[in-house]
């Protein structure tokens, strides 16, 4: 009985981690948007976010991985620098820029394209196999195309404002200020493109992190080093754009809350949870629960930030979610098949749960390196 419960919990653990991850990330969108609306520089926010994340993770890495931390090699160090450029610099930089042109709910919806982009990149680098003779292969390809179609709909079609029962009063107040925000609406397409660039950077980060964590299997230390690499690179950029001391000032408001929350939850705990799940499920599974984050962000931002939800965003988000789950369904079939083959071949040699089942993506990554 104890063995069955242990096996059940080991299978349930990745799902618990990613659900907690999505709720935590929903707060990141809302708090970041409120802070940017309050006038804080996005360059400074990114620097502070990664400083907090590094300081938060470093003690845990030093204590818990003191004896298990592998030696640093030049290839791993180079990969960490690239990871620090992909996530803190490109993803956060373009993501905040695109969010300032659109909205928190819109940004979280577009981010659902990450799994399909991740899948496409993994295919290019031969970390994913596509067999169009099987249903799961067709599902992943169709899902990717559907996701891109949804993003296109959100970019080109805004439509009327959708009223929910909790937003009727806020939308009425926002409508009176619509003339003042017309200039921002002109940047809607540009904002979408910036968010899509952030999606590409984030997808590349997922793929490279899934490779790096195998070469450097110390999740806390790896996450800390990524944040430190991000601090170095983003500080150089921030100093170049923000010369005034007032831009770096923080107070007892969202300017302090945003770096603390986004640093600890977004750039700290998120990296660690991602690395843990990727060991057994691969880079696509981690993003399977993104629609949950989108729903939470939409509800909270429409109440707290009085954001307007347009019909085009709702339609596009639904299309993206359909494509997302088509990709995830195909990926889950890959994982089930790989797990079945390994269970048969290794029946006489029991292994630890974390290494017993590797999907084809992980097998291909090992072959490339």
Q: Minimal CA–CA distance to 343: which of 352, 354, 356?
A: 356
Taking phi over 0 as left and psi of -120 to 50 as alpha, with beta for the rest, 358 belongs to beta
Does residue 266 lie in a domain region?
Answer: yes
Q: Measure the CA–CA gap between 329 and 180, rounded to whole angstroms.
A: 44
In terms of average pLDDT, the best of 177-181, 210-214, 333-337 is: 210-214
Query: What pLDDT shows up at residue 51?
Result: 95
Q: Measure the CA–CA gap between 259 and 202, rounded to whole angstroms.
A: 20
Quote the DSSP letter at residue 262.
Answer: I
Does residue 37 lie in a domain region?
Answer: yes
Q: Is the pLDDT of residue 349 over 60?
A: no
Query: What pLDDT shows up at residue 288?
Result: 66
Residue 190: give the domain boundaries. 21-332
Q: Measure the CA–CA gap between 50 and 69, rounded to whole angstroms.
A: 22
Look at the alpha carbons of 99, 104, 106, 111 in this order and tell me if their dihedral is positive or negative.
Answer: positive
In the structure encoding, which two tokens stand for residue 297, read together? 């962000």
How many distinct structural domains can be found in the chain?
1
Does residue 339 lie in a domain region?
Answer: no
Does residue 340 lie in a domain region?
Answer: no
Query: In percent, how much of the chain has pLDDT > 70?
Result: 79
Quote the DSSP letter at residue 84.
Answer: H
What is the residue-averaged pLDDT of the chain?
80
Does residue 138 lie in a domain region?
Answer: yes
Does residue 108 lie in a domain region?
Answer: yes
Q: Is the pLDDT of residue 238 over 60?
A: yes
Q: Which residues contact 6 (CB under 8 A, 6 or more apart)?
A: none
In terms of average pLDDT, the best of 43-47, 154-158, 306-310, 362-366 is: 43-47
Q: Is the pLDDT of residue 35 over 80?
A: yes
Place of tokens 């400083």: 51
Query: What pLDDT shows up at residue 348?
Result: 37
Does residue 337 lie in a domain region?
Answer: no
Query: What pLDDT shows up at residue 344?
Result: 52
Task: Tell me the whole-structure pTM to 2 decimals.
Answer: 0.79
Does residue 355 lie in a domain region?
Answer: no
Place of tokens 């499920």: 281
Burial 77-110 (b: 16+ CB within 10 A, else e): eebbbbbbbbbbbbbbbbbbbbbbbbbbbbbbbb
pLDDT tens, 250-288? Answer: 888 888 999 999 989 876 777 677 767 767 776 567 666
- Within 38-185, residue ranges assigned H as helices are 42-64, 74-84, 92-101, 104-110, 114-124, 135-156, 168-175, 182-185
Query: What pLDDT shows up at residue 325?
Result: 85
Taking phi over 0 as left and psi of -120 to 50 as alpha, with beta for the rest, 130 belongs to beta
pLDDT tens, 285-329? Answer: 766 677 888 888 988 888 888 888 888 889 999 999 898 888 878
In the structure encoding, which two tokens stand for residue 48, read together? 């502070």
């Amino acid at each position: 009985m104890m063995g069955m419960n242990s096996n059940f919990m080991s299978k349930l653990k990745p799902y618990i981690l990613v659900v907690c991850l999505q709720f935590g990330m929903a707060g990141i969108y809302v708090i970041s948007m409120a802070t940017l609306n309050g006038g804080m520089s996005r360059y400074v926010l990114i620097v502070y976010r990664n400083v907090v994340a590094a300081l938060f993770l470093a003690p845990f890495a030093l204590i818990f991985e003191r004896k298990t931390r592998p030696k640093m090699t030049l290839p791993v160090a180079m990969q960490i620098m690239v990871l620090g450029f992909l996530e803190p610099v490109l993803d956060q930089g373009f993501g905040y820029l695109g969010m300032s042109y659109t909205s928190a709910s819109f940004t979280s919806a577009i981010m659902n394209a990450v799994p399909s982009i991740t899948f496409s990149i993994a295919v290019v680098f031969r970390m994913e196999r596509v067999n169009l003779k099987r249903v799961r292969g067709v599902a992943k390809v169709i899902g990717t195309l559907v996701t891109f179609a949804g993003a296109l709909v959100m970019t080109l079609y805004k439509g009327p404002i959708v009223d929910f029962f909790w937003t009727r009063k806020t939308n009425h107040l926002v409508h009176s200020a619509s003339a003042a925000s017309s200039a921002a609406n002109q940047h809607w397409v540009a904002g979408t493109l910036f968010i899509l660039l952030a999606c590409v950077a984030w997808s590349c980060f997922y793929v490279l992190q899934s490779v790096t964590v195998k070469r450097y299997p110390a999740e806390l230390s790896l996450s800390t080093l990524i944040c430190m690499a991000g601090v170095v690179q983003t500080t150089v950029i921030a100093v170049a754009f923000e010369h005034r001391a007032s831009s770096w000032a923080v107070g007892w408001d969202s300017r302090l809350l945003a770096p603390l929350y986004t640093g600890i939850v977004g750039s700290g705990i998120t990296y660690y949870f991602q690395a843990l799940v990727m060991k057994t499920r691969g880079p696509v599974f981690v993003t399977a629960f993104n629609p949950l984050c989108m729903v939470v962000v939409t509800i909270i931002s429409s109440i707290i930030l009085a954001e307007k939800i347009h019909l085009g965003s709702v339609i596009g988000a639904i299309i993206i979610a359909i494509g997302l789950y088509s990709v995830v369904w195909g990926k889950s079939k890959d994982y089930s098949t790989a797990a079945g083959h390994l269970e048969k071949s290794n029946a006489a040699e029991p292994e630890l749960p974390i290494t017993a089942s590797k999907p084809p993506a992980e097998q291909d990554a090992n072959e490339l390196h």
